[in-house]
């Protein structure tokens, strides 16, 4: 009898996904979801050929050097800045992610955060719960218009395009975007979006949505200089990665009225949130939940599992990030 390959599930996951994995593998799972330091992660990974990871599990050269049995890390996320992909490719370890299955759900949430921020929903709800609401007033929690305004999207991949379609077709917004590569004309038309350079994007948008991948090149792409170019009535929404924004500069901009409000689902040091942000009322803060519907999280977990099965059982992963590994 041949031995089943062995996989480590590094964070708690749906029991039905563990059952699926167990049909093909010896499975060890961190179902109690305890925090693992790098040292513990390395210990836990020993002897496993596959790992199911999430954005909080860092796979870098140190981990790879200490885990020679590892062949694949399947991230349950579309973003993979927790992977050192070059180091993984060099070590012959396949990386996979979960694109597509979360696009529309995440775009919904981006829009929800935009609406909540521009229309001051969190602030108004806290006010009501605190028992301070004693009468209607003409300017009470008066916010910024969403429909008919200009949405700027920085990063125009699948999620950015989903947000653009909602904005242009559902809310009659003018949509402008900036991306390294410009979309083809047919996709631009379907999204109702127009390409502009970054400076025009910042200067002309009423709402700025960040949906770009995080890397060394996009670290603090939005800092004091960029915020200063935005309208004082503008809102900033970040559903990408916290490190894209200089949070200290953002907190200062929100305090000083350089921009009006922000909605943040991601943070540079998450789950820690910068105290300067916590102190502000004109910021809506959510705990990295843009893809969090049961259906979508299940689809993400299944796709991560299918990548492990596809590669370790059949040699054919579904959504590889570094397919060069397959050729070697
Ligand atoms: C994940 C995300 O929930 O897919 C991504 O890139 O940010 C979220 O959908 C998170 O990364 C946990 O893995």
Q: What is the DSSP string of 6-66?
A: EEEE-S---HHHHHHHHTTSEEEE-TT-----HHHHHHHHTT-SEEEE-TT--B-HHHHHH
Token readout for 68 is: 């020679």
CA distances from 293 to 22, 38, 107, 239 (A): 24, 29, 12, 15
Q: In what order do the strands lie in the sheet with 150-154?
A: 193-195, 174-178, 150-154, 207-210, 235-238, 261-264, 283-285
- Total residue count of the chain as it appears in this document: 328
Given pLDDT bands bounded at 50, 70 and 90, which one contains residue 153?
very high
Report the separation in Å between the CA atom of 178 and the middle of ligand 1, taken as the mean of its atom positions.
Answer: 23
Residues with CB under 6 A from ligand 1: 54-55, 76-79, 102, 291
CA-proximal residue: ligand 1, atom 6 (nearest): 79
Give every CB contact of residue 221 below 8 A, 6+ residues apart in sequence. Answer: 154, 212, 244, 245
Report the separation in Å between the CA atom of 76 and the middle of ligand 1, taken as the mean of its atom positions.
Answer: 7
Query: Active site residue: 24, 270, 274, 302, which one?
Result: 270
Q: What kind of fold does domain 6-101+294-327 have according to CATH?
A: Rossmann fold (3.40.50)
| Mean pLDDT on 271-291 | 97
Domains 6-101+294-327 and 103-285 share a fold: yes
Report the separation in Å between the CA atom of 240 and the middle of ligand 1, taken as the mean of its atom positions.
Answer: 9
Given pLDDT bands bounded at 50, 70 and 90, which one contains residue 3?
confident
**In 3D, which of 52, 47, 56 has the Cα closest to residue 5?**
47
**In angstroms, rounded to a whole number, what is the distance separating the alpha carbons of residues 28 and 45?**
10
Cβ atoms of 35 and 56 closer than 8 Å: no
The 10s digit of each residue's pLDDT in 246-269 is 999 999 999 999 999 999 999 999
pLDDT at 1 over 60: no
Query: Active site residue: 120, 241, 247, 297, which one?
Result: 241
pLDDT at 149 over 80: yes
The 10s digit of each residue's pLDDT in 217-249 is 999 999 999 999 999 999 999 999 999 999 999
Res 302: pLDDT: 98
Given pLDDT bands bounded at 50, 70 and 90, which one contains residue 327?
confident
Question: Domain-by-domain residue ranges, the chain?
Answer: 6-101+294-327, 103-285
The 10s digit of each residue's pLDDT in 66-94 is 999 999 999 999 999 999 999 999 999 99
pLDDT at 2 over 80: no
**In angstroms, rounded to a whole number, what is the distance separating the alpha carbons of residues 96 and 89?**
12
CA-proximal residue: ligand 1, atom 5 (nearest): 77
**In angstroms, rounded to a whole number, what is the distance separating the alpha carbons of residues 254 and 141?**
16
Please report which residue ranges of 61-157 form alpha helices under DSSP H.
Answer: 61-66, 85-91, 103-118, 121-129
| Residue 53 backbone dihedrals phi, psi, to 5 degrees | -120, 165
Q: Is the full-model pTM beyond 0.85?
A: yes
% of the chain exceeding 70 in pLDDT: 99
For the question of residue 226 being annotated catalytic, the response is no
CA-proximal residue: ligand 1, atom 2 (nearest): 77
Cβ atoms of 90 and 122 closer than 8 Å: no
Res 172: pLDDT: 98
98 Cα nearest atom in ligand 1: 4
Mean pLDDT over each residue of the chain, to the nearest integer = 97
Given pLDDT bands bounded at 50, 70 and 90, which one contains residue 209?
very high
Report the separation in Å between the CA atom of 139 and the middle of ligand 1, taken as the mean of its atom positions.
Answer: 38
CA-proximal residue: ligand 1, atom 1 (nearest): 77
For the question of residue 270 being annotated catalytic, the response is yes
- From the CB of residue 173, how many other CB atoms can be counted at a distance below 10 Å? 25
Q: Partners of 8 in the beta sheet? A: 28, 51
Pocket test of ligand 1: the residue of 215, 291, 299, 300 to mutate, having most ligand atoms within 8 Å of its CB, is 291
Res 74: pLDDT: 99
For the question of residue 268 being annotated catalytic, the response is no
The CATH number assigned to the domain with range 103-285 reads 3.40.50.720
Report the separation in Å between the CA atom of 66 and the middle of ligand 1, taken as the mean of its atom positions.
Answer: 26
Cβ atoms of 117 and 260 closer than 8 Å: no
80 Cα nearest atom in ligand 1: 6
**In angstroms, rounded to a whole number, what is the distance separating the alpha carbons of residues 84 and 50?**
16
């Amino acid at each position: 009898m041949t031995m089943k390959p062995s996989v480590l599930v590094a964070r708690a996951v749906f029991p039905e996904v563990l059952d699926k994995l167990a049909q093909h593998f010896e499975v060890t799972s961190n179902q109690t979801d305890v925090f693992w330091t790098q040292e513990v992660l390395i210990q836990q990974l020993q002897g496993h050929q596959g790992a199911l990871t999430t954005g909080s599990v860092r796979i870098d050269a140190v981990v790879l050097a200490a885990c020679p049995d590892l062949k694949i890390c399947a991230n349950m996320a579309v973003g993979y800045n927790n992977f050192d992909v070059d180091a993984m490719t060099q070590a012959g370890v396949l990386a996979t992610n979960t694109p597509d299955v979360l696009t529309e759900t995440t775009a919904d949430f981006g829009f929800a955060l935009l609406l909540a921020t521009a229309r001051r929903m969190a602030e108004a709800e806290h006010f009501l719960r605190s028992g301070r609401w004693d009468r209607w007033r003409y300017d009470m929690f008066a916010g910024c218009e969403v429909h008919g305004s200009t949405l700027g999207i920085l990063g125009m991949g699948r999620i950015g395009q989903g947000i653009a379609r909602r904005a242009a077709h559902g809310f009659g917004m003018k949509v402008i975007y900036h991306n390294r590569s410009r979309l083809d004309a047919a996709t631009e038309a379907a999204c109702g979006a127009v390409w502009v350079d970054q400076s025009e994007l910042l200067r002309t948008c009423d709402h700025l949505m960040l949906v770009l991948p995080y890397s060394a090149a996009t670290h603090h792409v939005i800092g004091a200089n960029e915020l200063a170019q935005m309208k004082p009535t503008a809102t900033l929404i970040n559903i990408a990665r916290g490190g894209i924004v200089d949070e200290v500069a953002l907190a200062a901009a929100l305090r000083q009225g350089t921009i009006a409000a922000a909605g943040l689902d991601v943070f540079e040091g998450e789950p820690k949130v910068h105290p300067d942000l916590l102190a502000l009322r004109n910021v809506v803060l959510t705990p990295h939940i843009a893809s969090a519907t049961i259906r979508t999280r299940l689809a993400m977990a299944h796709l991560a599992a299918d990548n492990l099965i596809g590669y370790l059982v059949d040699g054919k992963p579904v959504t590889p990030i570094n397919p060069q590994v397959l050729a070697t």
